[in-house]
Structure 1
Amino acid sequence: MRQVRLVCGVILFSYVVSHFLNHALGNISVDAMEIGVYYHTAFWRFLPIAIVFYTAALTHMGLGIYALYQRRQFRWRTIEPLQLVLGLSIPALVMAHVIGVRLGYTLYGHQKLYPQELYLFFVTSNRIWTMTILLIIAWVHGCIGIYFWLRLKPFFARAAPYLLAAAVLIPTLSLLGVYQGGRSVQIEVDDGEWRAHNLTRRQLGSTAEAATLDRVTGGLTIGYVGLLGLALAARGVRALRERRRGMIALSYGNGKTVRVPKGLSVLEASLRHNVPHASVCGGRARCSTCRIRIIGDHAALPEPSQREAFVLARVGTADPSIRLACQLRPDSDLSFFQLFTPHTHSADGQASTSARIGQERYLVSLFVDMRGSTQLAEKRLPFDTVFIVNRFLGAVSRAVIENGGQPNQFVGDGMLALFGLSADPETACRQALKAAAGIATHIDELNELLSHDLRQPIRFGIGIHGGEVIIGDIGYRDHIVFTALGDAVNVAARLQDMTKTLACEAIVSEEVRRTAGLADDALPQQEVAIRGRDEPMAVRVVADTRQLSALVDRSERVAA
């Protein structure tokens, strides 16, 4: 149902955006608004589009009323009950406008367009304030929904400033357009010719027709308020029945036990009793951070819903004792412990960023290792060795940062760097290849600087591979680091190790070469066996990493 509500909401928000942009044309003239509304209505009144639109509107309204009934706990973050209240108020506020325009057109052939509506709003009544409130409420409700939908998407951090700008500019220009259009109509209303052309009975209807439409509006509004009252009454009946059915005890595995009515989800029980419980998505089954492990017999628990089963399968959990707290509604006493302790995110679902908790996305991993560090340590004092290794890692880190990457893990004399945390896959692959060339350049400078103290120049090996990984915080208490986990990271490490046997400076996977847009004949290809993989893997062998920068520049020029 959440997915259906989301799809319906996106359809309605598209209509709102189209309508607001049409309003914004009032900053030019009322004539521009009329031209815009011609195309607006031509699209939204096209029969298949109209059927989809009205179906989405009725479905979204019905699911909103059901959400009022279904929601058992209102102590979420303020933004969630706010979204629900705003959404439920929209039908009551928009009823008169929809009946007056759409039903008036269907029943009586009224042609109420911008001149007529602005005349009714600004001249004959004070309904402009009601309409302004409606516009703001509809926009805020839609923006909250879009935010909840997109906030866990990989691109959201990059898109957020642009989305915020649009969220502020579009309603501002729309309201200004309505105001400017209203002023124009107020000036024109004293012109007899304008009145004769725009205020005819065919356009505005008769007094009797207006009274009929008002009665329809009143009846539908009362019916809608009745539905809301029925949902609230049903909540009371449900609460009474649950108390009569008895209470159950939920034990958190740390000595904390709460008693709640049957029917509450474990997450709702935690929130009701102010027990910290991790939940990034706010109980929508869009993440798995509220996971719990059942202690004892779990055979009597309700079967996972389709959504819960999908999320658990998505994170690779086959253990039947692991469940989502936001979806599990036990009907008997239950003992469990949380898999994600809420020291990194609180019970209301807040966290520093979604990526810190766990997020799947495409990244390019670059592993680099210093060659001959063991022999280097044999001939030097320990502090001298540390000094040289630190200079090596510093040179590598500079090259990574200069090319848009992030040094991530330092393991002895090796380092993992990540590319793509704030870039698309193509850009990330190109950045990693340029960083490899930059590493060679910086190491050359370091070798020259330390030439008086090195018997042999510092050498290195690099492995580069891209793919879907999980990024997030790993560790315990004060020893938590942000890193990436996944097959793509492991492959990059093994490619780096393979540079020793292939006697080259770097090995680049075919995936990175193709995504970066390098020509097929730019680097020699070879198939290698990767430990843990059944099939051989196609890679590109790079004898001299300095050439990678020129190859990337060439591919960018070709693409341009």
Structure 2
Amino acid sequence: MNHMTSRSLSRLAKSIQGIGVRQVRLGCGMVLYTYLVSHFLNHALGNISMDALATGVRYHTLFWQFLPVAITLYTAALVHSGLGIWALYQRRQFRWKAIEPLQLVLGLSIPALIIAHIVGVRLGQTLFGNEKLYPQELYSFWVARPYRIWLMSAVLIIAWVHGSIGLYFWLRMKAFFERAAPFLLAAAVLVPTLALLGFYQAGRSVVEDSASAQWRADNLSPQQIGTAAQQGTLEDIADYCLIGYLGLLGLVLLARGARALNERRGGMITLSYGNGRTVRVPKGLSVLEASLRNNVPHASVCGGRARCSTCRIRVIGDCGLLPAPSKRENFVLNRVGATDPSIRLACQLRPVEDLSFFQLFMPHTMSANAHASQPHRIGQERYLVSMFVDMRGSTNLAEHRLPFDTVFIVNRFLSAVSQAVVECGGQPNQFVGDGELALFGLHTSPKTACRQALKAAAMIAANIEELNQFLSHDLHEPIRFGIGIHGGEVIIGDIGYRDHMVFTALGDAVNVAARLQDMTKTLACETILSEEVRVTAGLPADGLPEQEVAIRGRTELMIVRYVTHAKTLTGLVEDPDAVVA
């Protein structure tokens, strides 16, 4: 129990450490997007009738004006808007993909477009007790001021596009995105379409009904839409708010210009890329921003959001003068096991002195069709189970045989391993000498991936046993092996240079699996799996012997389960109540 509590607290601490400005902005954005979906679905009821609209808005208002929910909504709106303005000031480079500055411009335009609506509805109710619902608002759009129809339609589309782009940036590296993308696209098209159609149908209904004097008496009373003086006051407030907001944006742009001048006066620094390329940039730019500003190719799957580590660089020389990594940068580097202080994220490092470095991942280009058909090839974050399998004694094997004989035996070993991996649903990924990295979970759930890896370990043992019998006349001693299995979040994608690209996984989970494989020599067993794999696979705690070990590169001890004979894992996976050694 203490171990479980300690691990839970450790995971919580790491999660909190990974929270930065972007995560706060994403959280606030999700609250606002949820409100937007609710509001759009309410609009869509206009395709049924005005009564349906009235019923929908009653429940919509009941939920969103519930005090804790209202506080959350308004806080999210203020924080998200403030962070958007901060992003305009902070961002020094606009040569990203076109969709990113588009999202920023759309987001900054939304407050200016909806100020009058918010003041007229919410502030009118707060100050004067006006009850403006759909009949009153639709009358204002379709009868009193028809030009506002296009303004409201633009607001709906802009807000939806802005939120959908943010949702795409968040989800595109998730494991389920490839499968969910068609459904998300359908929802992204249908929801605003139905909302706009509902807005149109309800507006037509109000235009027809408003010809009746009785309807006007029932829906356009001063209590509902306010007196002329109240409306004038609200319009003045809306104008002042709009002027204030536009003025704030103007101040931000002036501040950007002043900062640029100050940086140039403060001096320029030289960045050397290790391949002979150097650029001169003002102090304060991140290395990634400097690369993009000077058209230097630089890998960055997440677009400089510190959500991946593909922009990593290795600093050449003294690292003592570098700015300390932020919490977010430390979080990302720790997740991929990059504890060397010379390794930094280019999107986060803002040097103040001349800097020499080289990129760890060289950028490459792929066709748009390749990206569309295999989005995980350009980088994706997901849960995978990594299995390292290593052949023991291959060096001694080579000393007593001809090179071709040694290669033949190693290939037979790797074939036996790969056959088991494929039959159990995994994918052989990398071959390093006489070792192999296999991945499980590319197309399955974490639980299934863990169970597939355990079945594969048992099948590997059986296949190697058959291979030993086949080669018994040529081997002085049977082939032995070690297997390490661990699961966790990794980054998968194509890594390499030009025509030498390989699909692989990067991350702490892969490194731990390799360490566990090495540890089988110390514990004199064939397989070691992490407690993470056992729990995720749904195996009982007393099914496997437990050991607490130190993993190189980790400060905390780790609970692992070891199996002396991997072949016995078959019984445990098929019968969870079984106990193996």
Separation of aligned partners in 2, 1:232 and 1:532: 50
**Corresponding residue of 1:343:** 363
Counterpart code for 2:222: R
What does 1:85-484 align with in structure 2 at a 5 Å threshold? 85-126=105-146, 127-332=148-353, 334-344=354-364, 361-366=382-387, 400-401=421-422, 403-410=424-431, 416-433=437-454, 463=483, 465-468=485-488, 470=490, 472=492, 473=494, 478-484=499-505
Separation of aligned partners in 2, 1:372 and 1:335: 44
**1:88 offset after TM fit, Å?**
0.9
8 Å contact 2:420–2:463 — kept in the other structure? yes
8 Å contact 1:189–1:195 — kept in the other structure? yes
SS at 1:482's partner residue? strand
8 Å contact 2:390–2:517 — kept in the other structure? no
Match of 1:486 among 511, 515, 519: 511
8 Å contact 1:419–1:432 — kept in the other structure? yes
Change (3 A) 1:498 1:321: closer
**1:42 offset after TM fit, Å?**
1.9
Change (3 A) 1:40 1:166: same
Separation of aligned partners in 1, 2:434 and 2:306: 42
Change (3 A) 1:58 1:341: same
**1:40 offset after TM fit, Å?**
1.7
Match of 1:538 among 537, 545, 561: 561
Give the unaligned 5+ runs of structure 1: 556-560
8 Å contact 2:103–2:162 — kept in the other structure? yes
Match of 2:69 among 24, 44, 49: 49
**1:4 offset after TM fit, Å?**
3.1
**1:270 offset after TM fit, Å?**
1.7
**1:340 offset after TM fit, Å?**
2.2
Greater displacement, 108-117 / 540-549 = 540-549
Deviations 1:241-287 (A, max 9, x none): 33333433333232222222333232222211111222222222333
Change (3 A) 1:182 1:301: same
Separation of aligned partners in 1, 2:267 and 2:334: 33
SS at 1:486's partner residue? helix
Separation of aligned partners in 1, 2:314 and 2:268: 21
Give the unaligned 5+ runs of structure 2: 1-20
**Corresponding residue of 1:36:** 56
Change (3 A) 1:483 1:158: same
8 Å contact 1:366–1:462 — kept in the other structure? no
**1:2 offset after TM fit, Å?**
3.0
Counterpart code for 1:123: V
Deviations 1:415-436 (A, max 9, x none): 5432112332112123335556
SS at 1:66's partner residue? helix
**1:84 offset after TM fit, Å?**
1.0
Greater displacement, 255-264 / 36-45 = 255-264
Separation of aligned partners in 1, 2:540 and 2:348: 50
8 Å contact 1:507–1:542 — kept in the other structure? no
8 Å contact 2:387–2:438 — kept in the other structure? yes
Separation of aligned partners in 1, 2:435 and 2:300: 36
SS at 2:429's partner residue? strand
8 Å contact 1:267–1:283 — kept in the other structure? yes
Separation of aligned partners in 2, 1:186 and 1:276: 57
8 Å contact 1:265–1:327 — kept in the other structure? yes
Change (3 A) 1:8 1:294: same
Counterpart code for 1:429: C
Counterpart code for 2:124: G
Is 2:85 aligned against 1:65? yes
How high is the TM-score relative to the length of structure 2? 0.76
Change (3 A) 1:253 1:543: closer
SS at 2:77's partner residue? helix
Separation of aligned partners in 1, 2:330 and 2:570: 49
8 Å contact 1:362–1:466 — kept in the other structure? no
Separation of aligned partners in 2, 1:254 and 1:443: 46
Change (3 A) 1:461 1:185: farther
Change (3 A) 1:546 1:386: farther
Change (3 A) 1:382 1:156: same
**1:77 offset after TM fit, Å?**
1.1
8 Å contact 1:434–1:548 — kept in the other structure? no
**Corresponding residue of 1:558:** none
Counterpart code for 1:129: W
Separation of aligned partners in 1, 2:416 and 2:290: 53
Change (3 A) 1:410 1:316: closer
Separation of aligned partners in 1, 2:572 and 2:378: 35
8 Å contact 1:463–1:494 — kept in the other structure? no
SS at 2:428's partner residue? strand
SS at 1:337's partner residue? strand
Separation of aligned partners in 2, 1:56 and 1:433: 45
Separation of aligned partners in 1, 2:110 and 2:141: 18
8 Å contact 1:292–1:336 — kept in the other structure? no
Deviations 1:75-113 (A, max 9, x none): 111111111110111011101110111111112211111
Separation of aligned partners in 1, 2:206 and 2:26: 38
Separation of aligned partners in 2, 1:259 and 1:189: 66
Counterpart code for 1:72: R
Change (3 A) 1:464 1:159: farther
Aligned residues: 540
Change (3 A) 1:115 1:439: farther
